[in-house]
Structure 1
Amino acid sequence: MPQHSSRGLSGLVPSWLRSLTVSSFALGGLLAAAPAHAADPQEVRPNIATVLDVALVDGELTASILWTDRQDDLPRSSKLVSYDGKDTATAGVNVTPKAGEVSQVKLFGALDKPWETGWAQKLVLEDPQGQALATQPYDVNLDCATEKECSLTVSKGVTSEKDVVHVSSELDAVVTELDARYGQGEYDLVKEVSKDFPHLRGEAMVYVQQWYWWYPIIGPCTCGWTTTTTRTPTTTQSILVSSPGRSLYGWNGPGAKHTLSANAIPTGPTLNRTVTGSSQLSLGLRCSRRIYFYWWDFMIYRPGGWFPVRFPFPVSIPCTSPCQARFDHTGRVTGRTSISGVATAREAGTWRVNGGTPYINQLITGNNAFDADAIAVSFSNTSAYNTVSTSGQVTIPSTSTFASALVTNGYAQAIHGQLTCPQIPALAGRTVSDYGTTQGTSHQLSLFWFLQDFAAGF
């Protein structure tokens, strides 16, 4: 039976501060309505719901959902639905929203044969009318203790078309290293990864299984799209510093999003905290000439027992696209600071393409806000990436009374790749994107439509 549980935040946050924390700074993923694109230093209404994390608990897909503590904003009911890589609903759980609490929701049977239905999947939280309250892409992978026994894993993902292969930055670097090592020589990717990087064996098996379906068995240099994302910090980190009448509270991550709130009524210990984060998104061409493949039989454990599967393991020769691909980039970074009494608040954000000079470089203090976006183009035979980097700081001196300081932020980033090359098989253009915010529902919608408009231009 589907189930969920809730745990409150009231035990972590003083009651006088709660209205300034969860309601103001819930993190999240809301999808609907029309775009807005303006910087406004005034507080907006928070996200109704946020998927904080996805994980496997007792082998079942489990999501942590944070609800706004504004009771009037909550729907009477909601439903969390999982969709496989073919956009087919696989499981659904009714969830009762509870103001200011985190619901742990388990979806039984959600991960059903991802090797057939697709490894890049998503969760959608719906209101009673079926409208999306929150969405969270996630990637399914394998963790293989041996060459014959594996189990499933999940992690937060990014949005892309179905034939873009999602790969960790660690495995992507290993494949690049192996391609350079073997040059024009053939090699067995899974075998080499298993030998030198056994902890990546399962991911390598998933990686080559995705190429099999459309690569020619024997043929010319053929390319496909891959995407990697690197978020620092990798998970949501909660922050709480408290003394009588004084508190500093917030969240940092995953990636470039964060929020900090410092509040003081009497004098007391200095409140000071700085957080930093980054979100890097890449899109690349991975090319090879398939020599042959062989079938490998092994077992995957998931709820219900062990399941026998058969994967194709290729032996290939690495190659590089003879033509350069065009990579169109877009980035958007937003921030908001506010203070009262004797306090300071500082928010900074940058957006770079391929590690170069910032196209966006913003810094604000006091009572202020920014909302900056930019576009860029790069060309490469291999890949391109862009990076959002942010930092936020709040300070209330020990001598201040009735003072507060707040920082919130948000970001969106995307890349579209297009390759026109008569020397190799045709490859359709593809887009990948990612976003996050701690600035409320309307801002989340604005970021979503910003990325939709970018993708629609190709």
Structure 2
Amino acid sequence: MHRRSPRVLAPSWLRSLTLSSFAVGGLFVAAPAHAAETSEAPATIVDVSMQDGELTARIRWSAEPKDLPEEVEVLSYDGTEKPSAGERLTPKPGEESEVKLSGAVQEPWETGWAQRLVVREAKGRELASQPYDVSLACEDEKTCQLTATPGISASREVLHVSNGLQKTLATIEKELGEKEFDLVHEVARREPSLFGEALSYAQGKFKYGPAEGCQCTWQTSYARSNTSGTSLGAAHDLYARPLLQTRPANARLSTQGTSRITLTLNCTSLASILFQHVGIRQPGGLVKPVLMPQPVYSTCAGTCSGRFSHFGRITGLVTAQSTSPFPPPTLLNGTAMEQSKYHLGNSQSPLLNETRYAPADSGFDVMTTVSNVSSGSGYVQTSGEAFYAYNGNPAYWQPRGRAQGGYAIAVQGFAVCPGGGLNPMGRAWDTATTQGNQASLTQSIWDFLGL
């Protein structure tokens, strides 16, 4: 295993600071007002779903009007990277918008189940991007409807599976060994709610995988979770502050989150295949019959061996302001804390581990790479806390606390297949942030992947 030492990167809000900022022992301390002004993403896509048969996105806008253009475009791209739908809207500072993209998801069995949503300004600058996975949810074995959930990015030859389906497939492999099994029905027998996803997975596997012999394909799964109720996983923005100048109030906000990606080689041998018409419900209630494969496979050892390289980058920022009575000392009634860790595989020992506390505004931005390892999994864990207590006296500065976290993780698999039949390289990556550094996070992944 080859591992590069962690690198400390100056966040964009630090690089733009004047002489009022300084560094002490690797801890960057910035002028409070400037750090707070430049740390928020102009747009954050907080959720993607299908509602009434249409792709629906929730977008949170920066509270700073100067960060927002007068008008933005929300665009969807299908699995071939062709634009499929778009809407224009006017951002409202500090609010959330819900936008429906009519006709965005059409025939994913032809255009690809892994798609992408983008928010950009009129001049073309990208403000936010979110991959999403299209799948099926079925009323029974004959009728299904399209679904969409936030996903991660991967190269086109990589199949996307949910964490739940990945675990079920692993159970089938363990229980049945090299026995033949009907993929869709074996998944549904164990987890009936996964019947629709098994259909879309089987269609993608049959489309991209060779038909004969023991063959291996790349597939990726992911898991995002947090206690904030958003789809951002390990990324968050906790902002505790009074809403009224004349009313006493206090709040302590906290969150914990995890984001994991996994890239694996899946080796199977196709025994036989049946095709069955499945009715897929369209917007407006029309049911369209689609011929879907239901293959019978057996697990095989395969001739491919894989090794993996990993990239991890974690960023965080804490800012706080306390009431300043006269005479001093200042009462610490505005504080914040941010902690982030990056792990490889299932290891409990992090490769990156950073914690910052405010009242002293500070941040971190570190990265590391690891190469030639057997595990294709990496994950980020974060926790944050923001607190304020306000006595309701407008003569004093209003206290506040803010904790923000973001990340970028990527894995690249290299396969050696003497018999051929597999793209020798598979890639998967994931980013999420609320700090306005999305372009930087994405570029660092491109640099790692050599794209």
TM-score normalised by structure 1 residue count: 0.82
Distance 2:48 2:288 in 1: 23
Is contact 2:80-2:111 (8 Å) kept? yes
1:324 aligns with 2:324: no
| Match of residue 262, structure 1, among 225, 240, 251 | 240
Equivalent residue, structure 2, for 1:228: 221
| Match of residue 417, structure 2, among 405, 418, 421 | 421
1:387 aligns with 2:383: no
Name the amino acid aligned to 1:213: K
Equivalent residue, structure 2, for 1:206: 200
Distance 1:396 1:129 in 2: 39
Distance 1:454 1:124 in 2: 23
| Match of residue 348, structure 1, among 339, 343, 350 | 339
Equivalent residue, structure 1, for 2:407: 411
1:297 aligns with 2:293: no
Is contact 1:60-1:107 (8 Å) kept? yes
Give the drift of 1:354: 0.6
In the TM superposition, what are the counterparts of 1:100-115 in structure 2 within 5 Å? Answer: 100-115=94-109
Give the drift of 1:326: 1.1
Equivalent residue, structure 2, for 1:28: none
Equivalent residue, structure 2, for 1:150: 144
The share of aligned pairs that are identical, in percent, is 35
Distance 2:162 2:103 in 1: 25
Distance 1:434 1:87 in 2: 18
TM-score normalised by structure 2 residue count: 0.83
Distance 1:123 1:68 in 2: 19
Equivalent residue, structure 1, for 2:427: 431
Is contact 1:121-1:140 (8 Å) kept? yes
Q: 1:428 to 1:96 in 2, by over 3 A?
A: same
Deviations 1:136-168, CA, capped at 9 Å, x for gaps: 111100001111111110000111112211111
Is contact 2:310-2:410 (8 Å) kept? yes
Equivalent residue, structure 1, for 2:445: 451
Equivalent residue, structure 1, for 2:51: 57
Q: 1:218 to 1:37 in 2, by over 3 A?
A: farther
Give the drift of 1:95: 1.6
Give the drift of 1:397: 5.7
Give the drift of 1:398: 7.5
Distance 2:388 2:283 in 1: 51
Equivalent residue, structure 2, for 1:9: none
SS of residue matched to 2:355? strand
Q: Which moved more, 1:139-148 or 1:50-59?
A: 50-59
Distance 1:199 1:363 in 2: 40
1:336 aligns with 2:317: yes
Q: Which moved more, 1:57-66 or 1:424-433?
A: 424-433
Q: Which moved more, 1:431-440 or 1:254-263?
A: 254-263
In the TM superposition, what are the counterparts of 1:126-205 in structure 2 within 5 Å? Answer: 126-205=120-199
Distance 1:339 1:214 in 2: 51
Distance 1:36 1:186 in 2: 56
Q: 1:297 to 1:183 in 2, by over 3 A?
A: same
Name the amino acid aligned to 1:354: G
Give the drift of 1:454: 1.1
Q: 1:90 to 1:40 in 2, by over 3 A?
A: farther
Deviations 1:397-440, CA, capped at 9 Å, x for gaps: 68897433221111110000111131553432021111111212
Distance 2:54 2:249 in 1: 44
Equivalent residue, structure 1, for 2:367: 373
Equivalent residue, structure 2, for 1:12: none
Distance 1:330 1:386 in 2: 9
- Give ranges in structure 2 of 5+ residues lacking alignment: 1-10, 16-27, 323-331
Is contact 1:271-1:398 (8 Å) kept? no
Distance 1:449 1:347 in 2: 24
Distance 1:396 1:49 in 2: 25
Give the drift of 1:115: 0.7
Distance 1:129 1:102 in 2: 22
Name the amino acid aligned to 1:229: Y
Give the drift of 1:71: 2.5
Name the amino acid aligned to 1:261: Y
Equivalent residue, structure 1, for 2:262: 282
Name the amino acid aligned to 2:218: W
Give the drift of 1:298: 1.5
In the TM superposition, what are the counterparts of 1:65-76 in structure 2 within 5 Å? Answer: 65-76=59-70
- Alpha-carbon RMSD across the aligned residues, in angstroms, is 2.4
Name the amino acid aligned to 1:353: L
Is contact 1:37-1:446 (8 Å) kept? no
Give the drift of 1:232: 1.0
Deviations 1:229-273, CA, capped at 9 Å, x for gaps: 111128x63xxxxxxxxxxxxxx6520011222336789565323
Give the drift of 1:323: 4.6
Is contact 1:337-1:406 (8 Å) kept? yes
Equivalent residue, structure 1, for 2:352: 360
Is contact 2:417-2:424 (8 Å) kept? no
Q: Which moved more, 1:148-157 or 1:34-43?
A: 34-43
Distance 1:394 1:50 in 2: 20
Name the amino acid aligned to 1:318: T
Distance 1:253 1:297 in 2: 33
Name the amino acid aligned to 1:300: I
Give the drift of 1:104: 1.5
Deviations 1:38-86, CA, capped at 9 Å, x for gaps: 6664232532222221122211111112222333332232222211101
Is contact 1:349-1:363 (8 Å) kept? yes
Equivalent residue, structure 2, for 1:247: none
Distance 1:61 1:449 in 2: 28
Is contact 2:46-2:231 (8 Å) kept? no
SS of residue matched to 1:167? strand
Give the drift of 1:195: 2.1
